[in-house]
Amino acid sequence: MRLLLVEDDPRMAATAAQYLRNSGFAVDVAADGNTALREFAINPYDAIVLDLGLPGIDGLDVCRRLRDREPGIRILMATARDSVEDRIAGLDGGADDYIVKPYALGELVARLRALLRRPAESLPEVLQVGDLLLDTAKRTARRGARFISLTTKEFAVLEVLMRHPGHVLTREHISEHAWDQNYDPLSNVIDVYIGRLRRKVDAAGEAPMLETIRGAGYRLSGKRDAG
Ligand code: CA
């Protein structure tokens, strides 16, 4: 899941971005409204964390413009003041939820996960492909009865694949949803992660699920049960 964190306080932005990355999100940071709108136009985000008080175009205005451009985008508004007026303004402006600053980083992650689970294009909490299960809330993976230990990044890549079972995903698609803007398109980092995932997901004696489609990308499918 890829996020845009819009926050003008650089220290708060750095702390929150690091925490979100450790929680498995790919995170880009924008320090003002114009930057946020520009990033939003070029990158596919799953959700936006938007500070209400921003220099230049304020958070409410940014929120309305994001909502106009993409009605389905999940927006979590962060407000410094817990006033009813601010909350109403935020929700009227198109935010899906709000969080009061200063917030606990654990609460930020919990709110985001709740937001990303909400129906509309309903994102399920536990993904299943064949006998492979990924619990995005508990951050666990298992194939049948076998538990699979994954790093944060391996988890993010597998989550992208599991949201599109049976489809060939290009490296570009995977990088857009599991990496932030520091991704280097010339590196072979995705192939490296796929290699690691394949060793973990497809153990000896199990039907292979993760395929490389030459010149196209990767496909995860679980049509057959193991054995
Ligand atoms: Ca601010």
Check pLDDT > 70 for residue 120: no
Rounded CA Rg of the chain? 19
pLDDT tens digits, one per residue of 167-204 = 999 999 999 899 988 888 888 899 999 999 999 999 99
The rounded Å distance from CA 127 to ligand 1 centre is 36
Position 69 confidence tier, pLDDT thresholds 50, 70, 90: confident
Residue 2 has pLDDT above 80, yes or no: yes
Ligand 1 center from residue 2 Cα (angstroms): 22
**Which phi and psi (to 5°) does residue 56 adopt?**
75, -130
User: CB-based contacts of 97: which residues, under 8 Å, 6+ apart?
Assistant: 76, 77, 111, 114, 115
Please tell me the distance between residue 125's alpha carbon and the centre of ligand 1 in angstroms: 31
Question: Looking at residue 123, what is its pLDDT?
Answer: 61
pLDDT of residue 225: 45
| pLDDT tens digits, 145-171 | 999 999 989 999 999 999 999 999 999
- CA–CA dist 1, 123 (Å, integer): 11
CB-proximal residues (5 Å) to ion ligand 1: 8, 51, 53
- The answer on pLDDT for 206 being more than 60 is yes
Task: Tell me the average pLDDT across 118-139.
Answer: 80
* C-alpha pair distances (Å), 148 with each of 142, 144, 217: 5, 10, 23
pLDDT attached to residue 138 = 81
Centre of ligand 1 to C-alpha 54, Å, is 5
- State the average pLDDT for the chain: 89
pTM of the model: 0.68
Question: What pLDDT does residue 181 have?
Answer: 81
- φ/ψ (deg, to 5) at 107: -70, -40
pLDDT, average across residues 30-53: 94
Classify strands 47-51 and 2-6 as parallel, antiparallel or unpaired.
parallel
Question: By mean pLDDT, which of 24-28, 134-138, 157-161 is the weakest?
Answer: 134-138
